């Protein structure tokens, strides 16, 4: 994965003495106990019924909690956060002067401090093992201080697609339960923190093992449509949820997938179905 400007992301900031407590009571991950200097958390804001409204990263810097979120969802997330603010002693704002970057490299004007050092940089927390962070490092920095000639997010998205990692628009809005979307495996849910919106149903699905669906990847020899059924041997096992050319994410019932035999199609197009190794 090459260095990139993720210009399809935006940055929101939550500041004030109650910023951590405010976010802690809303999102799926442990902001109060799990967010340390130099790190980032992956988390989501759910509906009361436990379905994903927004997913984003949280880190700390520039005097605030910084939220790295899909640009096309940022206004709606800002509005939702302000609705939940009530009397909390916090400020919530968009910070258009900040950009999101992947795998920053190089030193501006031959200075000792690198571009990554001049930004708030953290390892992507979704797929981390003894070999490091499979999705590399993310940075949030002032656009005016970052390199101006970086390519856009294409290489980043190709890399995450190859790893079978969905995010943002792949989930849709209030369509998929957090555990069906793989947020537990992607380190986006804490089962030891206190209450948050959608926590009751998410915990029930975890402890009763009622989550039977997962998001898998299919590839074809032709562009795939935006929607349609996924079948295996003529048996419907799931549905297309987002497409990226000849690659798509599908929401599949794992029990049906394992019981069915034969070729797989998506919207009647022959495809290869892949279960990512992090789900094995």
- Element (H or E) spanning 64, and its range? strand 64-70
- Element (H or E) spanning 232, and its range? strand 229-232
| Measured distance between the N- and C-terminal CA atoms of the chain, rounded to whole angstroms | 24
Interatomic CA distance for residues 134 and 177, integer angstroms: 24
Q: Domains in the chain, start-ordered, CATH in brackets?
A: 4-164 (3.30.70.1400), 212-279 (2.40.30)
Q: What is the pLDDT of residues 202-254, one digit of tens each?
A: 999 988 876 789 999 999 999 999 999 999 999 999 999 999 999 999 999 99
Residue with tokens 């669906």: 213
Tokens matching residue 207: 């402890």
What pLDDT, on the 0 to 100 scale, is given for residue 111?
67
Interatomic CA distance for residues 78 and 151, integer angstroms: 27
What pLDDT, on the 0 to 100 scale, is given for residue 75?
98
Cβ atoms 54, 46 nearer than 8 A: no
Interatomic CA distance for residues 166 and 115, integer angstroms: 28
Instruction: Report the largest interatomic distance among the alpha carbons of the chain, rounded to a whole angstrom.
Output: 61
What is the CB-side half-sphere exposure of residue 44 using CA atoms within 13 A? 34
Cβ atoms 12, 85 nearer than 8 A: no
Output the CA–CA distances (angstroms, integers) from residue 114 to 7, 67, 105, in the order listed.
20, 23, 7
Interatomic CA distance for residues 46 and 26, integer angstroms: 8
Residue ranges for the chain with pLDDT beneath 70: 110-112, 210
Q: What is the pLDDT of residues 57-81, one digit of tens each?
A: 999 998 899 999 999 999 999 999 9
Tokens matching residue 272: 């290869």
Global pTM? 0.94
């Amino acid at each position: 994965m090459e260095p990139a400007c993720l210009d399809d992301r935006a940055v929101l900031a939550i500041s004030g003495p109650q910023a951590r407590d405010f976010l802690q009571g809303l999102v799926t991950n442990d902001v109060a106990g799990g967010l340390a200097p130099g790190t980032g958390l992956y988390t989501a804001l759910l509906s009361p019924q436990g379905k994903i409204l927004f997913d984003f990263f949280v880190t700390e810097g520039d005097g605030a909690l910084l939220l790295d979120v899909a640009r096309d969802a940022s206004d709606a997330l800002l509005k939702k956060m302000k609705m939940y603010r009530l009397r909390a002693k916090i400020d919530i704002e968009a910070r258009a002067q900040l950009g999101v970057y992947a795998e920053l490299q190089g030193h501006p004007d031959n200075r000792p401090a690198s571009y990554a050092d001049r930004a708030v940089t953290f390892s992507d927390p979704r797929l981390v093992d003894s070999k490091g962070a499979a999705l590399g490092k993310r940075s949030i920095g002032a656009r005016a201080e970052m390199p101006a000639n970086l390519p856009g997010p294409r290489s980043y998205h190709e890399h995450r697609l190859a790893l079978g990692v969905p995010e943002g628009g792949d989930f849709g809005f209030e369509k998929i339960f957090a555990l069906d979307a793989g947020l537990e495996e992607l380190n986006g849910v804490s089962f030891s923190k206190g209450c948050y919106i959608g926590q009751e149903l998410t915990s029930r699905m975890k402890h009763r093992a009622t989550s039977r669906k997962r998001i898998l990847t299919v590839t074809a020899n032709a562009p795939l449509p935006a929607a349609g059924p996924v079948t295996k041997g003529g048996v419907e096992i799931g549905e297309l949820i987002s497409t990226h050319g000849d690659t798509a994410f599908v929401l599949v019932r794992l029990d049906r997938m394992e019981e069915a035999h034969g070729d797989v199609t998506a919207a009647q197009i022959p495809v290869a179905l892949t279960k990512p190794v992090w789900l094995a």
